[in-house]
Structure formats: C-alpha cells, structure tokens
Amino acid sequence: MNNKNKTLRIIPRSEHTLSRSNISPNALKVLNRLLQAGYSSNLVGGCVRDLLIGHQPKDFDIATDAHPEEIRALFKNSRLIGRRFRIVHVTFGREIIEVVTFRGAGTGNGQDRELRGGMLVRDNVYGTMEEDVWRRDFTVNALYYNIADQSVIDFMDGMQDLRNGVLRLIGNPEKRYREDPARMLRVIRFSAKLGFSIDAATAEPLANLGRLLHEIAPARLFEEVMKLFLSGHAERVFELLEHYQLFEQLFPYSRFPADSLARRFFVKAMRNTDERIAQGKPVTPAFLIAVSLWKPVKQRAEDRIRQGQKETIAYREAASEILRDQAAIIRQPRRFSAVAREIWMLQLRFPRRRGKRALRLLQHPRFRAAYDFLMLRVQSGETSLQEIGEWWTRIQNLDENQQEKMAISASRRSSGKSSRSGRRNKKGRQKPLNENPCPE
C-alpha cells in the first residue's frame, strides 16, 4: 500500500498518552532550548513510538528546522557527526541526544543528496517536517511530538499502525529497501522487539532482495547485526531472518538444517542470550560470533584433520579462514574475533583434564565464556561431552585444594587406562578430541 493519500492528523495532548514526565530530562533541555530559540522542536522516531506504547525508549532523537551549524551554536556540548547523514550529537555525560535537521524533498545542489545504483549514499538536503516524514522508514517511526503544544503530529497514519501493531514502510517498499538495505534488518528487529506484524506489501520484497544486504558496508552491517542479536529477542529474530531468507545472506557459511544438532545449539544460544539480557547480564559480541560460526569452523577443521593435520593447527587454520571469509560480509572488529577464536580453541582443551593443565585452564581469562559455550554444546545434544561438562561444572565450584585433588585424580585415571583425551596414535599424533561427526 502506498501512503500518498494520507491526511495529516494533529493529536492534542489530551488525546494521547505521551507524558513529558517520561522524557529524559536532557532531551527536554534540548527541546526547550531549540523552542526558545524560535525553532520547530520535536521528538521523533523510536522514542515517540516507544513512549506511546509504554516502553522505555533506548535513546531520544530530536528533529528540528534548525540547521546543523545553528544547532551547534546553541549547545556548547555538541558536535557535528556523519558525512553521509550529518547530524548533531549533544552530550550530557554518558547520554547522547541526537538532533537532526528535517530532510527535504529537493535534490539540493547535486552534492547534498546522492543516489548510487538506487542506494542513498548521502542525504544532506534540508526541508520541512512535511518533507522529512517521507525520508523516515516506518509509519510508526514517523510520529513527531511537538514540544511547543505537546501534540503528536501524524502524517502517515502511524497512530493507527501503532494501535494495530503493524510495521509499514513509507512509500514504495522495494524502492525504500534499495535506498538503504539496512531497512530489511530494521523491520526484522522491530517486529521481533515490539511483537508487531509486518504489513504484506512491506514483507513481500524481502525474500527477493536479501542479496542487497551485501551492499551494506561490512562495518555498518556488523553494527546492525549486533543490534539484531542483542535486542533481547534474538530467538525470534533468527526465526524471522530465516523465514525471509535473510539469514543465509548474512551467514552463508552457517547452515543449520531442521532438527540438526547445529540448529539446536544455535537456537539455545539465542535463547540464552535473550535470558541474559532480560536479567541485565552482559552479553559479548564475541560470544555471538563464536556461536554463529562454530559449525563451519568445526566442519572445516574436521576436513583438515581427516587430511592428516594436527587438531590444534586444523582448528586454528579453519578459524582464520572462516573469520576472514565472514568478515568480507560482516566485519567483526578484531578484538571480538580474537575472543571468539579463543573460545573455540579452549573447546579443544576441555577434554584434557590432567593435573596442572586443568588448573591452568580454570585461570584462563576466557574460561567462563568457553565453559558456557561447552555447556550449550552439551545441552544441545553432544552426548560425548556430557561427562566432560559435568566434570568442569563440579571442579569450578570447589576451593583451590579440592580442585587440585580433583585434577590429580583425573591424572591418575588417565595414566592408568588411556583416556579419551590424552590418547595418541602410533605416529604420536593426537587423535581428534571430539570424534562426533560435525553437527548436521
């Protein structure tokens, strides 16, 4: 559906539920200063949407007719950021209020707005609120809260979509996805997070346009993908990405067939992430990278082992290859991929429990993350790891003396009968630790 024939609705303060008392005091300061200086001053986007449905906004965005330099002049604590899309950040300690000048419909002097192959690579043409609304993504993200009279301004029937829980792109959906393919991920994130349905015309192009995700700069795609998986609704996000055939575009090396061990592992990890976020516990992108690329790393390492390579080297090389190939699509900063690699490498050390080795592993800075990863593998059905998982669960809850005893008794056991972990073949080469076939 197109939104051309929409009528402007101004909903007075008495007829909506957005209360000033729920707005961050810093955002109110910025809104009031802009207003006093004679500019149009409005909250816009996700914060208006969230406040209207009783959620706590993640951040506060302000839209105004003041130009970036004018905004800069009003706030000492502000700076201009972005070239593709110039905006002003006003900072108050750790809180950043984003102030954006209304985008216009014109083309400017030819340099201010640039479309490259249908993709909007720069948009710095300024205009009015009526024009600005067309540049926003979804109708529910295009509501303005005007601080002057506390009314909500609705050009696109966003209030109705908000009431019905519908995500609808403004304008022609295919064109809007082509302009900025990240909108395909935004629709998934909002649908999962808000529990909203996706309007049929907005959903329809998704499956065909998935490959456009590769047009997004890999560094930006990393940010977008992390927002998806750290939204607190990662399990639902995964279902939706798969449903619209977008997951395979993002992670072409990670195929998780129905009913496979690999799939159970990934879904469990997503559920676990959601639970941690709900409990206010930290979640690191490194863990998400480790989880999403484990299957291809393991598979490739096992191929190398079959060709006679030593296990540690096989895993190290496989990890490098997969991380490199995946980074061409989603560029994970090195500090995260390094930790993902450590989590994988530590998986190889868990079965080796003899004496000092085990005690050293307990002290490893990544022990906890690697242990959580191991337990996910156990819980998703890698039965050969059951006993190993239980052993590590027990030992970490003991005091140092008891830990030493437990590690020594593991030594005795393994020096008596040849243990799985320390077994060597005739050439002195270590056997693969996990003789399970790759989860498939």
Q: What is the DSSP-derived secondary structure letter of residue 284?
A: -
Give least dist CB 153 to ligand ATP, A.
13
Could you say which of Mg ion, ligand ATP, none residue 123 binds, taking C-beta under 5 to 8 angstroms by partner kind? none
- Is residue 149 part of the annotated active site? The answer reads no
* Residues binding ligand ATP (CB under 6 A): 45-46, 58-59, 61, 136-137, 141-142, 180, 182-183
Q: What is the DSSP string of 288-336?
A: HHHHHHHHHHHHHHHHHHHTT--HHHHHHHHHHHHHHHHHTTS---HHH
Give least dist CB 119 to ligand ATP, A.
11
The one among 53, 55, 59, 408 contacting Mg ion by CB under 5 A: 59
Give percent helix, percent strand, percent coil of the chain, each to the nearest 5.
Answer: 55, 10, 35
Contacts of 355 (CB under 8 A, 6+ apart): 407, 408, 410, 411
- Is residue 132 part of the annotated active site? The answer reads no
Residue at shortest CB range from ligand ATP = 46
- Is residue 59 part of the annotated active site? The answer reads yes
Give least dist CB 375 to ligand ATP, A.
31
Q: Which of 50, 132, 137, 180 is catalytic?
A: 137
Give least dist CB 98 to ligand ATP, A.
7
**Candidate ranges 55-63, 127-135, 240-248, 281-289; the one touching Mg ion (CB under 5 A):** 55-63
Could you say which of ligand ATP, Mg ion, none residue 182 binds, taking C-beta under 5 to 8 angstroms by partner kind? ligand ATP
**Candidate ranges 52-60, 300-308, 326-334, 366-374; the one touching Mg ion (CB under 5 A):** 52-60
Closer to ligand ATP by CB, 182 or 262: give it: 182
CB atoms within 10 A of CB 415: 12
Separation of alpha carbons 430 and 421, rounded Å: 9
Closer to ligand ATP by CB, 92 or 391: give it: 92
Alpha helices by DSSP H, 180-310: 182-194, 200-203, 206-209, 218-229, 234-243, 247-250, 261-278, 285-306
Question: 182 is written with which tokens?
Answer: 């990240």
Residue 183 one-letter amino acid: R
Catalytic residues: 59, 61, 137
Binding site for Mg ion (CB under 5 A): 46, 59
